[in-house]
Amino acid sequence: MKLSVLKDELDKAIQHVSKAISNRTSIPILHGIKIDASASGLQLTASDTEISIQSFIAAEKGDVRSVELERPGSIVLPAKFFSEMVRKLPSEKVEIEVNDSFLANIRSGTIEVQLMGLDPEEFPLLPQIDANAVISVPSELLKSMIRKTVFAVSTNESTPVLTGVLWNVEDGKIRFTACDRHRLARAESNYDADADERFNNIVVSGKTLGELQKILPDQNTLVDIVVSDNQILFRQNSLLFYARLLEGTYPDVSKLIPQTFQTELVLETKLFTDAIDRAFLLSREEKTNIVRMAMREDMTVEISSSSSEIGRVTEQLTAREMVGERLKISFNSKYMLDALRVMDSESVHIGFTGPMQPIIIKPLGANDTLQLVLPYRTTH
């Protein structure tokens, strides 16, 4: 293998694939980035076996020649060191030459780096994904749906399927659901369906979606999503992101969501979020995060919490609307904050079916987001 590549392109590709490298693995080859050089360009791959990321540097893109190939080949280079060194090279171009014993010679200006590589044959193979189902989704939409649900996945590994986000894609509709038994988050959206692609009840790890969210670009481009037996692939331009699907059957959590309400409130999102945030400060001192909410006939809502060590906070909010029975209800302020912080609307609609029934939070006048928080059983 012998080639020269534009430093900025190489740096960008390294940063992308590095997200797949785990510090926890003890398998040396997984601390490396695989580089495959061919006439068409440079393919970089990294993997922690759960997630694999590939980034491709095309030899030519329009008028720009990013890679000059002299001799094709492959090598695995130590990711951390290779990444930091490339970022710190001063020249525009980097030359890489690999000999038969996997010793890489990297030159840039008067700088010469000799790097001991590993045999690319030992690098894990990427999953083969047949295009059973492909959908294309704008990256912004995908990121927003991840943001609105991923915080609610379970962190308890004893039920692995709940550590993921449930995907349902059908009839031009995508629905994400996350539930940790104490709260539920759901995001829905339409997308341009070309054919009757569908994949129902697949579960993608919350950690994986967190990484994907970081790597997807901020500008709005289309992301192709391909699902095969036990793998999902996200493809965005020259970037490929593979992840293993979680095994197991996701429980039917939709029955948790009440369809009618005894009490309905409309509150200004910012005022309510700030009030819960202040109550959270005290409630977290007790570890339980309990906050109390009491509705009054005069349309005010009292939010309060207390800590035996520190004291008590109480405040009044005026509801924009209040319909039905006035309730006193207690809940986990942290969960309520998480739910409120993904609301993009000016006001939120909150529905109750009794002091021991799930609380439903939605943006006012929209159905694309639904958050559910279970109340606490407390004595008021």
Residue 324 Cβ vs a second copy, minimum distance, rounded to whole Å: 23
Min dist CB 88 to a second copy, Å, is 5
- The dihedral built from the CA positions of residue 94, 98, 102 and 108, taken in this order, carries a sign that is negative
Does 225 participate in binding a second copy (rule CB under 8 A)? no
**What is the nearest approach in angstroms of a second copy to the Cβ of residue 217?**
28
Question: Shortest approach of a second copy to residue 111 CB, angstroms?
Answer: 4
Closest CA to 75 of 13, 32, 25, 128: 32
Instruction: Return the DSSP state at 29.
Output: G
Q: What is the spatial distance between Cα 259 and Cα 105, in angstroms, rounded to a whole number?
A: 66
Q: C-beta of 84: minimal distance to a second copy in Å?
A: 5
Residue 115 in the binding site for a second copy (CB under 8 A): yes
Q: What is the DSSP string of 273-306?
A: HHHHHHHHHHHGGGSS-EEEEEE-TTSEEEEEEE
The site map against a second copy for 271-290 (x = CB under 8 A) is ---xx-xx--xx--x-----
- Residue 310 CA to residue 267 CA, distance in Å, equals 28
* 286 to 315: interface string for a second copy, x by CB under 8 A: -----------------------xxxxxxx
* Under rule CB under 8 A, residue 11 binds a second copy: no
> Between 91 and 237, whose beta carbon lies closer to a second copy?
91
Report residue 29 as tokens.
Answer: 């080859």
Question: With contacts defined by CB under 8 A, how many residues of the chain interact with a second copy?
Answer: 33
Least Å from the CB of residue 162 to a second copy: 32
Nearest alpha-carbon partner for 281 in 303, 249, 258: 303
Between 55 and 94, how does the x/- string for binding to a second copy read (CB under 8 A)? -----------------------x--x--xx--xxx----
DSSP bridge partners of 370: 186
Burial class (CB in 10 A: 0-12, 13-18, 19+), 252: exposed
Which positions touch a second copy (CB under 8 A)? 78, 81, 84-85, 88-90, 103-104, 109-116, 274-275, 277-278, 281-282, 285, 309-317
